[in-house]
Chain A
Amino acid sequence: MNRPPDLEQRLRVHLAEEAPRHASDRVLEAALATVWSTRQERALRTPWRSFSMPGTLKLVAAPAILALALASSGLLGPRAADVGSAPIPSPSPSPSAQPIDTTGWLTFTSDRHGFSLRYPADWTTRHATAPWVRGGIDHDMPGDPATDELDLPDGGVFWLASTALPASVPVDQWLDQYARANGPVRTCWPALADWQPIAFGDLAGAYHGGLAVCDFTEAVILDGGRAYAFAAAGGADGVGDLDLFKAVLSTAVLDPASAVDTPAESPSPGPASPSPS
Chain B
Amino acid sequence: MLAAGTVDRLYGIARLILRDSDLAEDATQEALEDAWRHLPTLRDVERFDAWLYRLVVNACAQAGRHRRRWRTEITLLVTEPSEPDHASALADRDQLERGLRRLTGAQRTIIVLHFYVDLPLKEVAGIMGIPVGTAKSRLHYALEAMRTALAAEERSTLGTRPGEVRSA
Q: Name A residues whose Cβ lies closer than 8 Å to a Cβ of B.
A: 1-4, 7-8, 10-12, 14-24, 26-28, 30-32, 34-35, 38-42
Contacts and interface: CB of A to CB of B under 8 A. Distances in A.
Contacts of B112: 15
27 contacts: A1-B154, A3-B150, A3-B154, A7-B143, A7-B146, A8-B115, A11-B115, A16-B116, A17-B93, A18-B93, A19-B12, A19-B15, A20-B8, A21-B8, A24-B11, A27-B29, A28-B7, A30-B32, A31-B7, A31-B28, A31-B32, A35-B36, A38-B37, A40-B40, A41-B37, A41-B38, A41-B41
Contacts, number: 104
B28 A23 contact: yes
Interface of B is mostly: helix
B165 interface: no
B2 A12 contact: no
Contact of B4 (A20, A26, A28, A30): A28
B34 to A, nearest CB: 9
Contact of A38 (B36, B115, B146): B36
Contacts of A2: 147, 151
B115 A15 contact: yes
Contacts of A22: 4, 8, 11
Query: Which of the four size classes fits the interface of chain B?
Result: 35 or more
- Name the residue in B15, B37, B92 with the highest tally of chain A Cβ atoms < 10 Å from its Cβ: B37
Nearest to B19: A18
B2 A14 contact: no
A32 B36 CA distance: 10
Contacts of A10: 92, 96
Interface string B70-98: 00000000000000000000001100110
B39 A40 contact: yes
A66 B4 CA distance: 33
Interface in B110-164: 111-112, 115-116, 118, 143, 146-147, 150-151, 154-155
